[in-house]
């Protein structure tokens, strides 16, 4: 059980000196900490490697791996493991994600799919109440064993380390074991995320005992400890990932999913899950060919299905490239961005999911982009939901598709993204998640980690022909979009964000800001955001409405405030490669109370 004790400084950076000791915790040979360093602010520029995450301790852990001779993959895994300790409501062993890596030796981009899978017993109607024939309420679906997908995180770490890493997982887990045991100071973000889930956590004995000490969210400045997770990491380091997928822990996970530890007297209706031991044992992380397109002379790489991130970002960029260059006109550029997003999301929802035959080549073709772009007017807005296009290879002019667009499916808004570059030019972009803040709200008893609720990313009430209907062994569609841009075969920009289906628009808008509106990277990340996902209204942050609302409304755009909580879109991290070994790392300055960017040397 965590032990909130004495008050400490309000930043987790206060804990860094106990973690970042030269080689002592990592157990790897190295040269010791380099002099200097990029500081612990939200933007840093330097050499020798760079990191940006949402959390100071995770960023510091990754930088120390780089200092000790590890590469970008090693550092990314170590940072992700630390986020499982300090950001347990957004990324954990009980979830999954997508990993992109640029190998400087071969100049190739690799991607690994660690997305959760549906159990073998899952069917398209598994979220239908048999007594009513209607979809179960969303609140019942998200807080249930039924929503828990087979976790992919550990298999993914194992695969990327074996293929591209230089350090064993056992060594990379050591800093996280130490922090889980000693604890970290609770900051406002951790407190707020706990409070957001307090009602759900209170209904499960394992989650209540861990995250609500004394029956309340831990107070800011107290120390939060997670000895159960420390023991889990320690046993994984000693026994390997087989303990999770084939051993005793697998049995504990299945038991938790099938019989959630609901507190006696709780009135919450919690549905049992379908996962079995064979589902866990058969899970595999999958190497996938990255999605590729070009924009303004740059090569853009992203994730293939079951993520829709790579194809939707790529299609929207292709559409934008066929519209007039804005020449510094922010309003025109933003109008074009919103229109391109509507069209790309319509095609995403119609064609992209974990199904055979996704027409990626045609979705990213010049002909299809031209056919879609000619629907965009510079002075008026398409009325969403717009219909999907026809990526059939027959492109002759401006062909508006018939039929109505699909409504936006539910997709939990919270995830986390990290970016790492090493001294050799390797780059990792890693987006990981347990779905929404707190996932399913169900903690594996005594193990210190929450289970995901990713299966709610399937269409809960699928229509005929819906590619995102649930099915046995299927991976739910995701919007995660770890993205890498190359200039002349070398890394130029790397970025990603959390935010559910707003991930795609966050990545798009940062690219628009940096490449078309010529903002520097810190400004491109910090700028006010809006998200248009083929919905009747564009949801926007207050600062975006204040700055651009009247001018965009005059072009026919409908803007409403993003509802939250929190009322902000995304929490991006990004890198820019400035030449001569110089890298700029950028995290959010304000969203989610800010992130931390570090470099090995100033």
Instruction: Give 365-426 as a DSSP string.
Output: -HHHHHHHHTT--SSS---SSPPP---SS---S--PPPSPPPPPPP-----EEEEEEETTS-
Residue 572: predicted pLDDT: 98
Instruction: List, in sequence order, the alpha helices (H) in 527-571.
Output: 542-553
> Which of the two residues, 11 and 216, has the higher pLDDT score?
216
Per-residue confidence band for 396, with pLDDT thresholds at 50, 70 and 90: confident
Tell me the mean pLDDT in the region 564-588: 95
Query: Rounded mean pLDDT of the chain?
Result: 91
pLDDT over 50 (residue 528): yes
Residue 553: predicted pLDDT: 98
pLDDT over 50 (residue 21): no
pLDDT over 80 (residue 423): yes
Model pTM greater than 0.85? yes
> Which of the two residues, 564 and 268, has the higher pLDDT score?
268
Residue 411: predicted pLDDT: 53
pLDDT over 60 (residue 405): no
Residue 153: predicted pLDDT: 98
pLDDT over 90 (residue 149): yes
417, β-bridge pairs: 431
pLDDT over 70 (residue 80): yes
Per-residue confidence band for 7, with pLDDT thresholds at 50, 70 and 90: very low
Query: For residues 546 and 563, what is the distance between their CA atoms, to the nearest angstrom?
Result: 16
pLDDT over 60 (residue 464): yes
Tell me the mean pLDDT in the region 133-150: 96
Per-residue confidence band for 413, with pLDDT thresholds at 50, 70 and 90: low
Per-residue confidence band for 409, with pLDDT thresholds at 50, 70 and 90: low
Tell me the mean pLDDT in the region 305-326: 95
pLDDT over 60 (residue 106): yes
pLDDT over 50 (residue 31): no
Residue 397: predicted pLDDT: 75
Residue 364: predicted pLDDT: 98
Of the candidates 416, 400, 381, the residue with the CA atom closest to the CA atom of residue 500: 416
Catalytic residues: 415
Residue 272: CB atoms within 10 A of its CB come to: 12
Query: For residues 88 and 179, what is the distance between their CA atoms, to the nearest angstrom?
Result: 13
């Amino acid at each position: 059980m965590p032990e909130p004790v004495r008050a400490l400084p309000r930043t987790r950076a206060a804990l860094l000196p106990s973690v970042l000791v030269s080689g002592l915790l990592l157990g790897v040979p190295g040269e010791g900490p380099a002099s200097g360093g990029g500081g612990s602010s939200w933007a840093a520029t330097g050499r020798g490697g760079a990191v940006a995450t949402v959390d100071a301790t995770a960023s510091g852990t990754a930088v120390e791996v780089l200092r000790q001779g590890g590469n970008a993959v090693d550092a990314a895994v170590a940072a992700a493991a630390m986020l499982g300790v300090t950001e347990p409501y957004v990324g954990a062993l009980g979830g999954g994600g997508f990993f992109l890596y640029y190998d400087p030796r071969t100049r190739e981009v690799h991607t690994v799919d660690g997305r959760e899978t549906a159990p073998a017993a899952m069917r398209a109607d598994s979220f239908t109440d048999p007594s009513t024939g209607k979809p179960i309420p969303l609140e019942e679906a998200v807080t249930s064993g039924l929503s828990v997908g087979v976790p992919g995180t550990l298999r993914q770490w194992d695969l990327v380390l074996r293929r591209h890493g230089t350090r064993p997982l056992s060594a990379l887990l050591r800093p996280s074991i130490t922090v889980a045991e000693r604890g970290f100071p609770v900051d406002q973000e951790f407190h707020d995320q706990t409070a957001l889930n307090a009602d759900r956590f209170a209904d499960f004995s394992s989650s209540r005992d861990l995250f609500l000490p004394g029956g309340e969210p831990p107070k800011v400045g107290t120390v939060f400890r997670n000895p159960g997770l420390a023991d889990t990491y320690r046993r994984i380091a000693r026994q390997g990932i087989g303990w999770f997928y084939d051993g005793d822990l697998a049995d504990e996970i299945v038991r938790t999913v099938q019989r959630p530890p609901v507190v006696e007297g709780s009135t919450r209706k919690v549905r049992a899950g379908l996962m079995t031991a064979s589902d866990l044992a058969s899970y595999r992380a999958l190497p996938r060919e990255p999605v590729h397109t070009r924009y303004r002379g740059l090569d853009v790489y992203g994730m293939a299905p079951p993520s829709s991130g790579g194809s939707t970002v790529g299609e929207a960029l292709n559409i934008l490239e066929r519209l007039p260059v804005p020449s510094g006109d922010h309003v025109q550029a933003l109008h074009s961005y919103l229109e391109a997003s509507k069209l790309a999301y319509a095609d995403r929802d119609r064609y992209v999911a974990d199904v055979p035959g996704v027409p990626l080549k045609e979705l990213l073709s010049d002909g299809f982009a031209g056919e879609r772009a000619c629907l965009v007017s510079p002075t008026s807005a398409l009325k969403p939901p717009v219909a999907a296009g026809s990526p059939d290879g027959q492109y002759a002019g401006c062909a508006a598709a018939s039929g109505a667009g699909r409504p936006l499916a539910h997709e939990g808004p919270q995830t986390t993204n990290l970016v790492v570059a090493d001294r050799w030019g390797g780059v990792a972009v890693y987006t990981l998640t347990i779905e929404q803040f707190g996932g399913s709200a169900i903690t594996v008893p005594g193990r210190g980690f929450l289970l995901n609720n990713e299966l709610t990313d399937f269409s809960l009430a699928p229509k005929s022909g819906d590619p995102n209907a649930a099915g046995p062994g299927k991976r739910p569609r995701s919007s995660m979009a770890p993205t890498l841009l190359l200039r002349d075969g070398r890394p130029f920009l790397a970025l990603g964000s959390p935010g559910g289906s707003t991930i795609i628009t966050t990545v798009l808008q940062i690219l628009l800001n940096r490449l078309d509106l010529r903002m520097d990277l810190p400004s491109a990340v910090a700028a006010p955001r809006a998200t248009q996902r083929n919905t009747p209204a564009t949801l926007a942050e207050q600062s975006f409405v204040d700055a651009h609302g009247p001018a965009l409304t005059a072009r026919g755009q409908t803007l409403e405030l993003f509802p939250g909580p929190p009322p902000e879109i995304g929490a991006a991290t990004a890198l820019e490669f400035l030449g001569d070994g110089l890298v700029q790392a950028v995290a959010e300055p304000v969203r989610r109370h800010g992130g931390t960017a570090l470099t090995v040397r100033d």
